[in-house]
Structure 1
Amino acid sequence: MLSSLLVFYLVFFSTYADVKGVDNNLIASVKLMGDTKLQVLYKVTLPSCVPWILSGIRGGLGASLIGAIVGEYMGASAGLGWMISYATSFFKIQRVMSCIFILLLIGISFNFCLKVAEGWLLRWRPNASLNTTNEEAI
């Protein structure tokens, strides 16, 4: 419950800010062509919000892991948070470190899955590079 609340507010406010920031000229142009409100939502608003939704989800991934661990640490009888709490009470450092390593692997796999989903959902966006050299001239 704790992790879902953390993720919900991160994604909600990120999405809400972008929905309010959609270019009004673009919406007016699409309405001028005869699109309905539902078509404006699916063709203009949602595609412009996808990067911000994914950004909120990316921030929410870390918050969800932390929320789950803290929730298990406080009142669970199973899970990685409980295992860390239990192992620290008996000074089992190897078990604590192995649980933290497992959490690291979970975080990396979540991030990889999100990167794949982001590549698929944002395939319409051109690739941007911070490279300042002109590689086409070479």
Structure 2
Amino acid sequence: MTATVHEKDVRGHVPTDLPRARKGRGGALGIRAAQLAVGVGILLVWELASGRFVDDLLISRPSEILPELWSWIDSGELFGHAISTFSDAALGLLAGGVVGLAVGALLGQSARLAAVFEPFITALYTMPKHALIPLFIMWVGIGSELRVLTAGVIVFFLIFYNTFFGIKDVSESLKNSVRIMGGGPADVLFRVSLPSALIWVVAGLKLAVPQAIVGVVVAEMLAGGEGLGYLVALNAGTFNSAGTFAAIFVLLFVGFAVDRILSWATKPALLWKSSAN
């Protein structure tokens, strides 16, 4: 009887797991195939609708956009504009992220400072940041400094708020444990508060990276002589819809790639937080 039950368990256990694994792989492939089909279907509908149902001056055609994009790649024009956009976005992300992290940690640690300054920062946060670009032009001109400043201001508020609320969310019992063991404010901050708020900071970073690119692109569209935003505005201004869509597709593709890379890079931090809980 025991042997029979054991065999039944073994026979019942192994086949159940294997089909699940196969089903998981098959399901992932099915999703990828469906995504590819949707993408191809959109392009086909777009190609057929342009010039028949919608004026091709407004939406162009995929068959016209790809040659336009390739001509930019072949001439090297695209890389110059892309480097300008993403280098400014990276500088703005770095500057705004460092300042936002520092200010968020400082106010998160001090209830008194938070009570004094947080309403002013909230008031600035609620204001559309792109409305400040004309003022920034008066301050720094229309060069790279404008784009970096715009991206930095946007990133600052995203990182600040996530750091601030992440640290405020840390259990007081954890902080008191460090204090009881003789730890000072720096120990509480670097050994408890910041590690515990890591998932908040990572979430803010994932929001800040695309928003830094958005800030730079908007600044380039309004007052720029280079960059992908300038390329969009230039082609739209000359009613070149193929060129406009080509520049938009580059921004779409790079933004998607950056999001996937960031998700992969921040996965260990999120796993650590999940295992800690």
User: TM exceeds 0.5?
Assistant: yes
By how many angstroms is 1:56 displaced?
1.2
Identify the match of residue 248 of structure 2 among 85, 100, 114.
100
- The structure 1 residue matched to 2:233, chosen from 63, 81, 85, is 85
Counterpart for residue 27 of structure 1 = 175
Q: Which residue of 2 aligns with 1:75?
A: 223
2:189 corresponds in structure 1 to: 41
Give, in whole Å, the separation in 1 of the partners of 2:262 and 2:199: 12
- Unmatched tracts of structure 2, length 5 or more: 1-148
Q: Hey, what's the Cα distance between the residues in 1 that align with 2:162 and 2:195? A: 14
Amino acid at match of 2:236: T
The alpha carbon displacement at 1:38 in A equals: 2.2
The letter of the residue matching 2:165 is A
Greater per-residue helix proportion = 2
Partner of 2:265: 117
Aligned counterparts of 1:125 and 1:20: Cα–Cα separation in 2: 16
Matched, 1:53 2:197: no
- Cα drift, residue 105 of structure 1: 1.7
**Structure 1-normalised TM-score?**
0.82
* Greater relative contact order, per chain length (Cα 8 Å cut-off, separation 6+): 1
The offset of 1:103, in angstroms, is 0.6
Which AA in structure 1 matches 2:191?
Answer: K
Give yes or no for the alignment of 1:126 onto 2:274.
yes
TM-score (normalised: structure 2): 0.43
Aligned pair partner of 1:16 in 147, 151, 164 = 164
Give the drift of 1:78: 0.7
Give SS of 1:122's match: helix
Please give the alpha-carbon distance, in whole angstroms, between the structure 2 residues aligned to 1:89 and 1:122.
44
Greater Rg over alpha carbons, structure: 2
Alignment RMSD: 1.6
Cα offset for 1:55? 1.1
Report the equivalent of 1:131. none
The aligned amino acid for 1:70 is V
Helix, strand or coil at the partner of 1:76: coil
Letter of the 1:49 partner, please give it. A
Which residue of 152, 167, 178 corresponds with 1:4? 152
User: Which residue number corresponds to residue 136 of structure 1?
Assistant: none
Q: CA deviation at 1:50?
A: 1.1
Give the aligned residue type for 1:52.
Answer: W
* Cα distance in 2, alignment partners of residues 26 and 46 from structure 1: 12
Look up the equivalent residue of 1:53 and give its one-letter code: V
Distance 2:261 2:178 in 1: 33
Separation (CA, whole Å) in 2 of partners of 1:35 and 1:116: 34
Query: Deviation of residue 35 (structure 1)?
Result: 2.8
CA distance in 2, matches of 1:124, 1:62: 24
User: CA offset at residue 3 of structure 1?
Assistant: 1.5
**Could you tell me how far apart the structure 1 residues matched to 2:226 and 2:176 are?**
54
Query: Separation in 1 of the partners of 2:171 and 2:273?
Result: 17
The answer to whether the 8 A contact 2:166-2:198 is kept is: no
